[in-house]
Amino acid sequence: MTRLRMALLVAALVVALALTGVVAVLSSPKTMCRLAERGLEWPEGSITAEDITLSWSGRFRIEGVRVEPPVLRMPVVYVAWAEADLPSPWFFVSKQVHLGEVEASGVEVGLRIQRPPREERVLAKRPYTLHASSLTVHDSRFHAAPDETFSEVILTGLNGQLDDVHWTPATKHVDGVGNARATRFVLGEIELDELVLPSLVLADEALALENATFQYGRTEGRADGGITDIPGDPAVELQVVVKRGRAEEAITDAIGRVSPVTGWLDAELTVRAGGELPRGESRLEGWVSLSDGYVFMGSDMKLIPKVLLDVAPWFQREDGGWLHVGDLWGEARFGRGWVEIERLERMSDRNRPLQAWGHLRDGRVDVTVRAVPRRRPEKPGVGVRLRGPLRSAKLKFARKSELMDAPEVLVVD
């Protein structure tokens, strides 16, 4: 055997041994997890995996991955399995981990602290960024534990795809464009089903949604808007349209008690949460329309208001203490534990217009109803005021001073 052949054989053996060593390292879950921990400067045991399988196509499959960052503000993540391209070994230098087309299933993200205080971090070195030409997720779940004034958040049955994804874990920065859907979304007392996000854009530390649809009990809804300043103080602002919902469901979710109002509800609302609002607070405000509405008045009613209701052309008393009020429309605001009626009006071709305003708060109701004089709407007219604990409020004639506090009339024929 010539020296050249001998040299080539030795070189081939060295390459084979090197490749075997590389494959052995890349196939070792413990070793790869430790390398990742060192790159992120996390303590040992922060990342674990059950199995890693390599293929000759340059892909790898990892199973049973659990990531538990040492910083509580970062979520705990579990992945049943994921497949991706093997990254270039130069990522230790470039800090860019290119994974190609990534597919994952059974992803569970658990947020331990909701909306932590903004933390200005000075990074000692350039952080790692993961890039995927596409990210497809199947049958996944998100959970945020209750946190002081924040309600529990649950998102299940999550499926979706994002293209051109860039994720920098150290700065919580994510970019990507795609779509998603979820079978169930729970935010405290509010539960949505069949959430569909046909247009989903993550960019500039913000999430933008367009034409999102959902089911809220028997209600179909649509939402547009998004979330800004995700790494800092996330602020939610959505324009929500609800058709043919039940008023009692929306009011009960807001005040946490049985609603004294029933009927069919249509609404165009602006939803705000986070940002500059107090911790854990949210606001819904806009135009509402109540069709075939009923208000619970109870049976303990003074004689004169009872007679007034019996002869008034707008109302009809029903069995069980309910009063049929018909169709109303106007402006309202909802928050956690309260409903503020800015103004609701009922128009009539034959009778005076009606106004209603007031609030439901802390288990009590305070609502004034006024019959608006047609020719001189600035005059107080006549009206009644309902005040007291929900389900046992008292009805009485409203004083002139109370009627003069009425909001501006929207329409007077």
pLDDT given at position 27: 54
Nearest to 385 by CA among 344, 364, 356, 346: 356
pLDDT at 101: 94
Name the band, by pLDDT with cuts 50, 70 and 90, for residue 299. Answer: low
**C-alpha closest to that of 102 among 115, 85, 114, 119:** 85
Of 354, 364, 370, nearest in space to 402 by CA: 370
Question: Could you tell me the sign of the dihedral formed by the alpha carbons of 206, 233, 71, 94, in that order?
Answer: positive
pLDDT in tens, 76-94: 899 999 999 988 877 777 7
| C-beta separation of 317 from 323 below 8 A | yes
State residue 71's pLDDT score. Answer: 81
Angle CA 221–224–228, to nearest 5: 135
Q: What's this model's pTM, rounded to 2 decimal places?
A: 0.72
Q: Is the pLDDT of residue 139 over 90?
A: yes
What mean pLDDT is predicted for residues 199-213? 89
How far apart CA 176 and CA 99 sit, in angstroms, is: 14
Span 364-384, mean pLDDT?
81
pLDDT at 19 over 50: no
- Please say whether the dihedral angle defined by the alpha carbons of residues 243, 247, 248 and 250, taken in this order, is positive or negative: positive
Task: Kindly report the number of other CB atoms within 10 A of residue 89's CB atom.
Answer: 9
- Within 86-229, strands assigned E span 96-98, 101-111, 129-144, 153-168, 173-187, 190-203, 206-216, 219-228
What is the average pLDDT value for the chain, to the nearest integer?
78
118 has pLDDT over 50: yes
Share of the chain above pLDDT 90, in %: 15
- 11 to each of 3, 20, 110, 157, how far by Cα in Å? 12, 14, 49, 52
Task: Please give the share of the chain, as a percent, with pLDDT higher than 70.
Answer: 80
**Count of helix runs (H) and strand runs (E) in the chain:** 6, 22
Mean pLDDT along residues 333-337: 78
Nearest CA among 395, 396, 401 for reference residue 380 = 401
The answer, yes or no, to whether residue 313 has pLDDT greater than 80, is no
Take residue 325 and report the two structure tokens written for it: 């009020």
Residue 294 pLDDT: 78
Please tell me the distance from the alpha carbon of residue 256 to that of residue 285, in angstroms, as a whole number.
18
Kindly indicate the confidence band of residue 161, based on its pLDDT and cuts at 50, 70 and 90: very high
Residue with the two structure tokens 């924040």: 150
Pair type for strands 51-54 and 47-48: unpaired
What's the pLDDT band for 14 if we cut at 50, 70, 90?
Answer: very low
Q: In this predicted model, which residue has the larger pLDDT, 122 or 113? A: 113
